[in-house]
Structure 1
Amino acid sequence: MSQLSLLPEEGRFVGRVWRTDSDGPALVAVRAGRVFDITSREAPTMRDLLEREDVVSVVDAAAGEDLGSLSDVVGSGKYRLLAPCDLQAVKACGVTFARSMIERVIEERAAGDPSKADAIRARVGAIIGDSLRNLVPGSAEAAKVKTALVEEGIWSQYLEVGIGPDAEVFTKGQPMSPVGHGAEVGLHPVSKWNNPEPEIVLAVNSKGEVKGAALGNDVNLRDVEGRSALLLGKAKDNNASCAIGPFIRLFDESYTIDDVRSAELVLRVEGEDGFVLDGHSSMKEISRDPLDLVDQTIGRHHQYPDGFMLFLGTLFAPVEDRDAPGQGFTHKIGDRVAISNPSLGTLANTVRLSTECPPWTFGPAALMRNLAARGLI
């Protein structure tokens, strides 16, 4: 992947880089292909920057320190891209697309065994067909479909959150745990059936205002979650188990929530064994509006004083066989995953075991000590 495809030419992008000379992170803005350190006492963290009502004008007015061209910063040993969030909670929505919802049902019915998936997929597909595609979750029509599925004996907790009134919103990871562009993403060693999940991630402040969006890879351990939904924490929250980046594109006159609603995401997996998988996810097919998902996450029922990053879910659920017939797709160590969108750029990562990825050691306490030592707080 060329660095020219990392970001589009237009748009206001903010992110975070690790500076070896400061032994800590810096907030950066990208302008005309160059990266500027805009860290300040007024906005020492991405959390603080996104709390600003006038975040676009603040970023525009910040002179900053010119760190070099985007390609130089990404390719140098002096800097490395971090996930563009810091103190925000990391939340994710599941089962927000009808087609991928069927795959969740299949995982549950197969109890995590990929060899059973094809037969279950055929049976469930014959019963459901396209009946879920245009349903509005929580509607009277959805309730009728639920009744029919119960009578057929295939009702599932995944269908409940897929077409019922309440969305699935879970904690994907801890604040500061996501990795950024170019880093390794991790698979728990117990998983033998897994895949990437290309998603859009909303950057939401403490007031519930969506300030921008980024790309995300919510690594999915299909066998672990398929064995039991109570293993969701084990399936989702592991070392380096999600990536966000490469930057957050701020909402402005050129990019809004409507662009998120119509976004097309492209995925490519390239294995060291020569295997190539191409996929996509279309936000036009999401069953719940992104702002409804935000409202179900934050409100009088739940506050996030440092804001949150919200994965919106994915349409992508691979069924192609990679090795043995009937076994479907699963990652192999060394897979390179690239997720792209013309408005948000490209997020690329390499797959490792979570036990082999660099351990996560720089958390909120280390960040506060680092900022204090630099006179920023």
Structure 2
Amino acid sequence: MTAPALISDLPRDWRSATLVGRLQLQDGPTPVVITGGRVRDVSRHAATVSELLSQWQGSPPAGEDLGPLEELSIDRAYERTPAVRLLAPFDLQCIKACGVTFAISAVERVIEERARGNADQAHSIRSALSQRVGADIRSVQPGTDAAARLKAALIADNLWSQYLEVAIGPDAEVFTKSPLLSSMGWGDWIGIRPDSHWNNPEPEIVLACDRRGRTLGVTLGNDVNLRDIEGRSALLLGKAKDNTGSCAIGPFIRMFDDTFSIDDARKAVVSLEVLGEDNFQLYGDSSMSLISRDPLELVRQTLSYHDYPDGFALFLGTMFAPTQDRDTVGRGFTHKVGDVVRVTSQKLGTLVNKVTTCDRVPPWTFGVTDLMRNLASRRLLS
């Protein structure tokens, strides 16, 4: 059996790339490195991806050759039970995320706030705010004197918001997105709360950072977002962002080497495609060149007053907040069960997932204790 679906979702130059990921093999979750199109089990060198990245010196360990990637029986878990499952490429790393890092996303968060999570009010508020606030915040660098003057002007006009504070103020929004080991991988289900009626995917670039804060590679993520819940109150961010199946990452981490660097991440265009069972289609692009803070500045802020001994993944935010009407004029977009979501970037491939409700996502039962027991049984812990 081959893996045509996965292969078609990899970057075109994947055979010359250095890719790191995790496979669910018969013995358990296994860190792998793919070079030259071949998969190598590196678990004897590093039992987890966290350990592998912390030991990374620019070239991967040899590992045990599992053969060409095309010959592994990897398939989409939402379609059938695969012989080999592709897991999210992070394990013990903390999953962090930055919000309101693009001007348009700042405007949309303000709209959510003013609409109190009511999608019916979003259209009229968007029309009133977008031209003034959107144009102004695109013109300033966060944390500068110009940004402070804009803040004062917006306060005077009664247009200020806590979301604009993190959009143009000195401090970026950085929050914890998801527990260790809970992220969904390529080809898996993603979940929305069944009581949410206004929600959307958030296609993002995700950085892979080790325990020392080194940024070593990049992958794709979907920061599934419940707009109605966060819109009621920013204090509900945890409930809007962190639910079973609400975080997807993959397919692999592309490591920095002669073919790929942080500058590729800075220039990346991230595309979104949603195909519904109702024949609804949604397309959009998010250009990293429009981000308000440099990716490494966001890493620095994440590290400012916190240690990460197992490293961390960092979502960089998105400029794409879909407003295309789906069913009702003026209500914009929201997910339906059965939506297939594809997040694509040329040098990273495609992360594909299918939407269901959180209570129908296959239960997450394999936690850190289970992983430690599994690794100990395989004699991978020293």
With structure 1 as the length reference, what TM-score do the two structures score?
0.95
In the TM superposition, what is the alpha-carbon distance from 1:202 to its structure 2 partner? 0.5
Read off the aligned partner of 1:85 and give its amino acid letter: F
In the TM superposition, what is the alpha-carbon distance from 1:35 to its structure 2 partner? 2.4
Read off the aligned partner of 1:6 and give its amino acid letter: D
1:336-347 to 2 correspondences below 5 Å: 336-347=340-351
1:227-306 to 2 correspondences below 5 Å: 227-299=232-304, 301-306=305-310
* Conserved 8 A contact 2:244-2:364: yes
In the alignment, structure 1 residue 83 sits paired with structure 2 residue 94: no
Aligned to 2:47: 44
1:17-166 to 2 correspondences below 5 Å: 17-19=23-25, 21-22=26-27, 24-40=28-44, 42-54=45-57, 56-57=58-59, 59=60, 61-70=61-70, 72-75=72-75, 77-166=82-171
Read off the aligned partner of 2:52 and give its amino acid letter: L
Distance 1:129 1:357, change over 3 A: closer
Read off the aligned partner of 2:33 and give its amino acid letter: A
- Give CA-to-partner distance per residue, 1:290-317, whole Å, 9 cap, x none: 0110010114x21011110000000101
Aligned to 2:20: 14
Read off the aligned partner of 1:204 and give its amino acid letter: C
Aligned to 2:319: 315
In the alignment, structure 1 residue 357 sits paired with structure 2 residue 361: yes
In the TM superposition, what is the alpha-carbon distance from 1:5 to its structure 2 partner? 2.6
* Conserved 8 A contact 2:38-2:65: no
Aligned to 2:78: none
In the TM superposition, what is the alpha-carbon distance from 1:17 to its structure 2 partner? 0.7
Read off the aligned partner of 1:363 and give its amino acid letter: G
Alignment partner of 1:335 out of 336, 339, 342 = 339
In the TM superposition, what is the alpha-carbon distance from 1:77 to its structure 2 partner? 2.5
- Give CA-to-partner distance per residue, 1:87-117, whole Å, 9 cap, x none: 0001000000001110000000000001101
Where structure 2 has 5 or more consecutive residues not aligned to the other structure, the ranges are 76-80
Alignment partner of 1:217 out of 217, 222, 240 = 222
* Conserved 8 A contact 2:74-2:83: no
In the TM superposition, what is the alpha-carbon distance from 1:120 to its structure 2 partner? 0.5
In the alignment, structure 1 residue 188 sits paired with structure 2 residue 193: yes
Read off the aligned partner of 1:371 and give its amino acid letter: L
Paired with 2:35 and 2:181, the residues of 1 have a C-alpha distance of: 25
In the TM superposition, what is the alpha-carbon distance from 1:4 to its structure 2 partner? 3.3
* Conserved 8 A contact 1:186-1:357: yes
Paired with 1:73 and 1:258, the residues of 2 have a C-alpha distance of: 34
Paired with 2:69 and 2:306, the residues of 1 have a C-alpha distance of: 41
- Give CA-to-partner distance per residue, 1:234-270, whole Å, 9 cap, x none: 0111111110000000111221111111000111000
In the alignment, structure 1 residue 178 sits paired with structure 2 residue 183: yes
Read off the aligned partner of 1:74 and give its amino acid letter: I
Read off the aligned partner of 2:54 and give its amino acid letter: E
Measured on the aligned residues, the alpha-carbon RMSD in Å equals: 1.4
- Give CA-to-partner distance per residue, 1:145-166, whole Å, 9 cap, x none: 1111101111000000000000
Read off the aligned partner of 1:236 and give its amino acid letter: K
* Conserved 8 A contact 2:17-2:36: no
In the TM superposition, what is the alpha-carbon distance from 1:3 to its structure 2 partner? 3.3
In the alignment, structure 1 residue 205 sits paired with structure 2 residue 210: yes
Distance 1:74 1:311, change over 3 A: same
Distance 1:67 1:361, change over 3 A: farther
Percent of pairs identical after alignment? Answer: 54
Read off the aligned partner of 2:176 and give its amino acid letter: T
* Conserved 8 A contact 1:35-1:70: no
SS at match of 1:320: coil
In the alignment, structure 1 residue 376 sits paired with structure 2 residue 358: no
Distance 1:117 1:71, change over 3 A: farther
Distance 1:126 1:203, change over 3 A: closer
* Conserved 8 A contact 2:19-2:33: yes
SS at match of 2:107: helix
SS at match of 1:339: strand
* Conserved 8 A contact 1:91-1:171: yes
Paired with 2:168 and 2:90, the residues of 1 have a C-alpha distance of: 31
Paired with 2:105 and 2:71, the residues of 1 have a C-alpha distance of: 36
Paired with 1:244 and 1:330, the residues of 2 have a C-alpha distance of: 21
Paired with 2:340 and 2:133, the residues of 1 have a C-alpha distance of: 35
Paired with 1:185 and 1:4, the residues of 2 have a C-alpha distance of: 21
Paired with 2:53 and 2:259, the residues of 1 have a C-alpha distance of: 18
